[in-house]
Structure 1
Amino acid sequence: MKVGFALASEEYGPAELLAQARAAEQAGFAALWISDHYHPWNDAQGQSAFVWSTIGALSQVCSLPVTTAVTCPTTRIHPAVIAQAAASSAVLHSGQFVLGVGSGEALNEHILGDPWPQLDLRLEMLAEAVEVMRELWKGHFVNHYGEHYIVQHARVYTRPDTPPPIYVSGFGPKSIDLAARIGDGYISTRPDPDAVRRFRDNGGGDKPCQAGFKAAYADSEDEGMRLAYDKWPNSGLPGELSQVLASPRHFEQAAQLVRPEMMREAFVCGNSPDAHLEMIDRYARAGFDELYVANTGPHWQGLFDLYQREVFPRLR
């Protein structure tokens, strides 16, 4: 299994994300994820830079492949614009760029005043957006008059030799089936073998499956739990709340129902290499090909040192 590092745009500013990317490559991580948000989940996280600027800068500080985890190409930004941004990013990264996409969250996508569609409609929009982007990457002028998008006499001139792969995020049956049908790969955050099996059995075949989990590196498990609870209590929210709540303050209100000890279920807290190896094994046994670990809090260099010194040698 390939193990990468996940850059959290919601918690760290662009300069710190670039420093993390450099350190991740030096520590032996194989690739990068980066989140794409307009807002953080809550004010305690405190950041949310424009991801495409950061992706361009990443190409100048490290040579690791980059995947967006994930971009929503349907509401806040038109898919024709995402097609241009992804193509330029792929050129900057010498073809080592994957466009990870999903149906999005109201938290980020409602900002222009558009209504937030129900899931079935969001998946329809995502499928059409992927169709538009792939057509634009062929290099000719595109005219598209679809159910949800219009593209008129548009051409993407700056393109990589090979179009960027599109990996599709999915959690419920409908979104997993869509990922299997239209995706070049699959993205999840859960060590769920049934989801991987559904993706592969419904058209995904042997396409790559990526996943990610969160860590809170600290001197003790309790300190890690505190760091996780301070910044990411939203990780303990159930069901579809993450897709429908529209503001960081709504997440803060809902997170009052989350208890600090619940962070132990959502995060690997503390500094135990065995805990990280156990989590990696869970995703490997679920059938994932690539796994990305994110860190919360100020001690990210400690996590890199832990992986370089104790985790990667044991994985090899």
Structure 2
Amino acid sequence: MTVFGYFLSCEEFTPAQLVEQARLAEQAGFTRLAVSDHYHPWNDAQGNCPFVWGVIGALSQVIRLPVTTLVTCPTVRLHPAVTAQAAATADVQLAGGLRLGVGTGEALNEHVLGDRWPPYAVRADMLEEAVEVMRELFTGDVVSHRGAHYTVENARLYTPPKEARLPVYVSAFGPTAAERAAEYADGLVTMSPDTDLVAGYRTAGGTGPVIGGVKVCWSQDRERAVKTAHRLWPTELLPGELDQVLPTPQHFEQATELVTEEMAAQAMVCGDDPQEHANRLRDYIGAGFDEVYVGQIGQEQEGFFDFYREQVLPRVAGSPEASP
């Protein structure tokens, strides 16, 4: 059965706003939360980027929902040993409710210390080794590790996660990456409802949940919703590897000058048609997703949560096609 959560966007909202959204999401019937992990927003219009681990600590004090990072990069800006400590502490604060989503990252966030931004093949190797290091540390044992990319000496998490096998979900956007994730991940993260990608992950032996996310812009004024989506998230429409290699928000603003309002209106669900919103969620259900996280673009948050509680979630919860 597919379950639905709310996607907290650190790029767009302050810590206080994110905490309030989490509270509203729980009241609206969303059963879990996801939260992004960025150092920079995608563009200046989004305007925020709090430290995700501080946000999760605050969330743990107001909600009782599980939280998944979508996604953390534990390879360049933060060493996997540091990420492991942050994740373990967050898991304890959430009473065992953290799910660690990880990925190979973007130059936008990871270049800030001046490190070279490696090609994808190297980043994929770094990620797999980072997951290995973190899993060793999650046991609470003393860990020493000397690998191709990371060194750990006599490290021990004295506040380990609630369970030594803290779930680690790996992000993948292509068939090769999904097949590789199947070899070592506890679940797959991918944003588009790509049936073939999900099938490839399963065929390659992936047994964990498949997790996705979708951005929508609810408003009673559809034209206003389209303008808001286009202003804040034109990056959703960038092709290929641009989102992985462009280094600054200004570069993304230059690239998205080619994205029109019409393109945003076609690609993202905007407005207040409940059937249109429900159909977008059913795309993920039909593709075999186990968890889907919905993020509301813009400031009309309370209206969005009322709308989803009353008109959208009842249309998709428990529907026959929601069974994997």
Settle same-fold status: TM greater than 0.5. yes
Residue by residue over 1:242-288, the C-alpha shift from the partner in whole angstroms, topping out at 9 and shown as x without a partner, is 00000000000001011111112332101111111100110000000
In structure 1, the residue matched to 2:175 is: 173
1:115 to 2:126 alignment:
no
Structure 2 residue identity aligned to 1:201: T
Q: Any residues of structure 2 matched to 1:206-225 within 5 Å, and which?
A: 207-225=208-226
Distance 1:131 1:169 in 2: 16
| Segments ≥4 residues shifted beyond 3 Å | none
Structure 1 residue identity aligned to 2:113: L
1:198 to 2:200 alignment:
yes
- Normalised by the length of structure 2, the TM-score is 0.96
In structure 2, the residue matched to 1:50 is: 51
Distance 1:39 1:173 in 2: 28
Deviation at 1:297, TM superposition (A): 0.8
SS of 1:115's equivalent? coil
Distance 1:85 1:154 in 2: 14
Query: Could you list the runs of 5+ residues in structure 2 that have no partner in the other structure?
Result: 318-324
SS of 1:314's equivalent? helix
Distance 1:104 1:228 in 2: 23
In terms of mean alpha carbon deviation, does 263-272 or 109-118 score higher?
263-272
Structure 1 residue identity aligned to 2:169: Y
Deviation at 1:168, TM superposition (A): 0.4
Deviation at 1:138, TM superposition (A): 1.2
Distance 1:265 1:174 in 2: 29
Structure 2 residue identity aligned to 1:65: P
Distance 1:177 1:110 in 2: 27
Distance 1:78 1:49 in 2: 19
Deviation at 1:312, TM superposition (A): 2.0
In terms of mean alpha carbon deviation, does 264-273 or 30-39 score higher?
264-273
- Normalised by the length of structure 1, the TM-score is 0.98
Native 8 Å contact 1:186 1:208 kept in 2: yes
Structure 1 residue identity aligned to 2:308: Y
Native 8 Å contact 2:91 2:162 kept in 1: no
Structure 2 residue identity aligned to 1:180: A
Native 8 Å contact 2:12 2:49 kept in 1: yes
Q: Any residues of structure 2 matched to 1:49-198 within 5 Å, and which?
A: 49-163=50-164, 164-198=166-200
Distance 2:21 2:162 in 1: 29
In terms of mean alpha carbon deviation, does 266-275 or 287-296 score higher?
266-275
Structure 2 residue identity aligned to 1:12: F
SS of 1:110's equivalent? helix
Residue by residue over 1:135-160, the C-alpha shift from the partner in whole angstroms, topping out at 9 and shown as x without a partner, is 01111111101000000110011013
1:39 to 2:40 alignment:
yes
In terms of mean alpha carbon deviation, does 179-188 or 263-272 score higher?
263-272
Native 8 Å contact 2:246 2:252 kept in 1: yes
Deviation at 1:302, TM superposition (A): 1.1
In structure 2, the residue matched to 1:27 is: 28
Aligned residue-pair number: 315
Deviation at 1:38, TM superposition (A): 0.1
Deviation at 1:221, TM superposition (A): 2.3
SS of 2:37's equivalent? coil
Distance 2:38 2:126 in 1: 19
Distance 1:304 1:88 in 2: 30
In structure 2, the residue matched to 1:14 is: 15
Distance 1:175 1:313 in 2: 34
Query: Could you list the runs of 5+ residues in structure 1 that have no partner in the other structure?
Result: none
Q: CA RMSD of the aligned region, Å? A: 0.9
Distance 1:283 1:209 in 2: 10
Distance 2:276 2:221 in 1: 12
Deviation at 1:222, TM superposition (A): 1.8
Structure 2 residue identity aligned to 1:48: C
Deviation at 1:84, TM superposition (A): 0.5
Distance 2:43 2:314 in 1: 36
Distance 2:146 2:189 in 1: 29
